[in-house]
Structure 1
Amino acid sequence: MGRGIKKWWTRKSEKEKEEYKQWVKDRSNIILGCFGLYGLILFIYYVTHLETDPLTKRSRFLIFNKEQEKQLGQMVLEIHLKAHKKDLVPKTHPAYKRLLRVIEKILVANKDLKSIRDTEWTLTVINTPLSNSYILPGGNIFVSLDILKIIENDDQLAIVLAHEMAHSLLLHSLESLSDQLLWDFLIAVPILLVWALFPDVTAFIIHMIGERIINIMYNLPYSRVLENEADEVGLKLAAKACIDIREAVVFWATMRTLTEMHLLPPELPWISSHPSHGDREKKLNEEMTTAIELRKDSGCPILPAVDPRNKFYERSAKEQEIYFKQRGII
């Protein structure tokens, strides 16, 4: 639209341009008022669609409901199943049964949460070379077999799965989509003006630089906040399921160490959608005392006397390398 306005303007004579400029000048207050009204409408829409998350008590902007989440989840699930058609692991596979067993343990322990009961959870295991797990809207969990090479035990597996389930319970996918749509409306007018007022190459450069700035200054930090939130809530879900939650720290310490050994891609936290492995390790360590109390209050048996964190930190760099070789990670 901006380019269309620019082309339309170049076809006008100097006399017509002066007439239009005068027309705009005479109605400048009305035009500014329209921009102000547009901003006010967006602000009112934003305020009226804020709600408090029951788990974190954080205020969030949501424009979608649970039914729309289910529809979106089903649509995205079909796309991902089609994309991974050749990589799907059968339900008879031992890894699938192991994952399902851990998920059910977390679900049973947290059935007091309405959001847990109301979600139709699904599990899809894929055989890809990426050490990854993720969740789609509506509680559709995807896990790569490759990540099981890094995960040392079922406690660490429960931490990873609880993190993904926390994303779903906190409606992070809907929140991110709502936030992105709001940004689209906020920047629509500035983008139109840039493409209308500047030559195409200049407009393209300004547009791209603007998008990168917004991404680095807002979108990525916002995504990292959601990841930390899922870590925190996931830790609580695992604690109620009587998991040895100290393994959460060991898992992220392992990821940090593998990165330092250049066995995982290097981290650039300020341009990443996820916090660094070391930051997650440190934050989970800080939350551990509270989480252990929650585990105790949930009627869980006493944790083993040997703290897995101490076992990990007591190993030297050389011993870590030998240990990772023994486990088949290296």
Structure 2
Amino acid sequence: MDLVVLRLTRLNVSTLTTSNRFRLFTSGIRWRNQRNVHPYTSNPTKTHFFSSVKGPVSPNVASLCLTSTSRRLDTCLTAFKPPAQRLPVVTQPVHQFHTSGCLRAVPAPFIWLVLKPIQKVLAEVGPSHCFASHKSIRKWWLALPPNKKQLFREWTWRRRWHLAGAGAGFMFLVSLFFLTHLDESPVTGRTRLLVFSMENFIELAKFTSDAYMEEFKESLVPTSDPRHQAVELLVQHLAQRNQDIAEIFSVSWNVHVVEGPTVNAFVLPNGEVFIFTGMLEAVADVHQLAFVLGHEMAHALIGHAAEQASMSHMVELLSLIMLTAIWAICPRDSLAVLGHWIQSKLVQFSFDRPFSRKLEAEADQVGLQLAAKACADVRAGPVFWQQMEISDQLKGQPNIPEWLSTHPSHQNRVRQLNRLIPEALELRASCDCPALPSDDPRVNFSQKVQLILDNAKKQELMEKEKMIGKENAEVLFPLPQTAPVPAQGAQSGRLLATSALPQNSA
């Protein structure tokens, strides 16, 4: 049975003339053999019917059943075409027709319950899994005949306001999702987006710490080692002096020292501290080590890992729209791949890396505060990054631009920390810490660096003068030159003599 759609607006069949009734039925019979069903959505002002033709198709007899989408009207109409002009119509009403009632707005909690599983599903389906569907959309469109393409364009244009409303509704839902996931950052009070809760990330960090313990099990420094004990004592001191921060004592801080030349340290959200012996050799004193550990602990207590994952998660979801457009519009796969690569680089350099540098700068600020409350000399913080800059230059590492890196440059870090030093010194003084020595480590380090540079310049000048003197000596007293080697034959047995020595006569 084929279905035919008739779009009527509160149509009263009894008011139709006999000729109009028959025209209605015959047009329904023609549509039965030409097209399939086209569903419409009912609303309070318009009523749409699904009509079906029952029985054999005859030019004199037609029977149509009209059924509303809400199933509140079920009417069958039968028309006969006698020789006379007037056509009798028999109407058999089944249900009384009435419009739908007003719809109430969907409550916000229900929207959140619906969006949450959808968001999780979309998070698991990455952009790479959607390329096949995007490509199929393009193939489907190219395979359409010109007339169907024109019908689709006309259909889109007729419903442009509906589509615009759907887009506005989508943006409203996205905005609602953002507003319901805003959070305040500890210590700094910065407003941020958190899709994942800190509790979930702490549970995830347990598996990560177990993986690191398995990876470093052969190179872990024993707890009886003085290096491990020094780091353990300093971490516990930082935690005790910052008990006013709720996130500090909500986790237990465990130290793991790894034997290795890598200059690195990191702290997981569950309080597991990993530091390499290369970092212990890179710091000059305990004050620099306190700043480094405070920086890494700041990442954990603020929840930068969850924040960065949330931001990357949302950027990935929003980029699916652009990826869909790229893979659906581009005529060739090569152009689609190029567009996808450009889009990924734009997202990387416009969102990911600037956001990572922002989190690093915030960790420097909070780490400086943690070290100040622990009575460390906060002036050693900028000195550490100056040392790292000189170390990189001596190792010959390339100096890449900051916008290409996930971390701020050493020079920018030094400038930012120097701006924060006065505030950190006031915070340190308010925590009943002993007075600092009058010698500023920043000034001492600059003087030492200048002294090393001066000595290097003097050494370079001395080497240049030595080379010049050597060249002058070669000009005044040329080195003896060897006579040419005689050809083989009669002169092969002669003794070779240099031009600098006199020749004996026979």
TM-score normalised by length of structure 1: 0.90
Q: Which runs of 5+ in 1 are unaligned?
A: 323-330
User: 1:280 maps to what in 2?
Assistant: 413
Match of 1:155 among 287, 290, 293: 287
Q: How has the CA–CA distance of structure 1 residues 92 and 214 changed in structure 2, closer, same or farther, with 3 Å as cutoff?
A: same
Asked whether 1:206 is paired with 2:342, we answer no
1:120 aligned to which of 243, 249, 252: 252
Q: What residue in structure 2 maps to residue 110 of structure 1?
A: 242
Cα distance, 1:318 vs. partner? Answer: 6.1
Superposed, which structure 2 residues align to 1:26-41 within 5 Å?
Answer: 26-41=158-173
Alpha-carbon spacing, 1:2–1:111, altered in 2? closer, same or farther (3 Å)? same
Q: 1:215 aligns with which of 348, 355, 361?
A: 348
Q: Matches of residues 92-111 of structure 1 in structure 2 within 5 Å?
A: 92-111=224-243
Q: 1:265 to 1:129 in 2, by over 3 A?
A: farther
Normalized per residue, the structure richer in helix is 1
Query: In terms of Rg, which structure is larger?
Result: 2
| Distance (Å, rounded) in 2 between the aligned partners of 1:302 and 1:73 | 39
Mapped partners of 1:210, 1:265: distance in 2: 27
* Structure 1 residue 247: Cα displacement: 0.9
User: How much has 1:264 moved relative to structure 2?
Assistant: 4.6
Structure 1 residue 298 corresponds to structure 2 residue 298 = no
CA distance in 2: counterparts of 1:71 and 1:243, whole angstroms: 32
Counterparts in 2 of 1:172-251, with a 5 A limit? Answer: 172-198=304-330, 199-251=332-384
More RCO (CA 8 Å, sep 6+): 1
Cα distance, 1:312–1:83 mapped onto 2, change above 3 Å = same
Q: Deviations over 1:250-301 (max 9, x none)?
A: 1111112223334555342111111111111111111111111111110000
What is residue 422 of structure 2 aligned with on the other side? 289
Residue 229 of structure 1 and its aligned partner are, at CA, apart by: 0.8
C-alpha distance in 1, partners of 2:208/2:145? 51
Alpha-carbon displacement from aligned partner over 1:29-68 (angstroms, at most 9, x marks no partner)? 2223222222211111112221222411211111222321
Counterpart for residue 9 of structure 1:
141
Q: Where in structure 2 are there 5+ consecutive unaligned residues?
A: 1-132, 456-506
Which residue of structure 2 aligns with residue 327 of structure 1?
none
Pairing partner for 1:68 from 197, 200, 203: 200
Q: Match for residue 59 of structure 1? A: 191
Q: 1:257 aligns with which of 362, 383, 390?
A: 390
Which residue matches 2:181?
A: 49
- What letter corresponds to residue 79 of structure 1 in structure 2? A
User: For 1:213-250, what per-residue CA distance to the aligned partner results, in whole angstroms no more than 9, with x for missing partners?
Assistant: 22212221221111111111110100110111111111
Question: Residue 300 of structure 1: SS of its match in structure 2?
Answer: coil
Paired with 1:27 and 1:85, the residues of 2 have a C-alpha distance of: 64
Name the counterpart of 2:11: none
TM-superposed deviation, 1:85: 4.0
Amino acid at match of 2:197: N
Q: Does 1:268 align with 2:401?
A: yes
Alpha-carbon distance change, 62 to 246 in structure 1, aligned in 2, over 3 angstroms: same
Q: Which amino acid aligns with 1:246?
A: R
Distance 1:41 1:154 in 2: 51
Q: Distance in 2 between matches of 1:156 and 1:221?
A: 26
Higher strand content, 1 or 2: 2
Over 3 Å counting, the alpha-carbon distance change for 1:122 and 1:16 in structure 2 is farther
- The 1:320–1:173 alpha-carbon spacing in structure 2 relative to 1, beyond 3 Å, is farther
| TM-score computed with the length of structure 2 as normaliser | 0.60
Local SS of the residue matching 1:314: helix
2:150 & 2:215 partners in 1: Cα distance?
Answer: 56
Q: State the aligned residue count.
A: 322
- The alpha-carbon deviation at position 179 of structure 1 amounts to 0.9
Of 155-164 and 144-153, deviating more is 144-153
- 1:165 is matched with 297
Cα deviations across residues 167-202 of structure 1 (Å, max 9, x unaligned)? Answer: 111111111111111112211111111111112211
- The separation in 2 between residues aligned to 1:31 and 1:254, in whole angstroms, is 59
How many angstroms apart in 1 are the aligned matches of 2:313 and 2:304?
14
CA contact (8 A) 2:181 2:193 kept: yes
1:25 aligns with 2:157: yes
- CA–CA distance in structure 2, aligned partners of residues 15 and 122 of structure 1: 70
Q: Secondary structure of 2:266's match?
A: strand
**Which residue, out of 434, 440, 458, partners 1:307?**
440
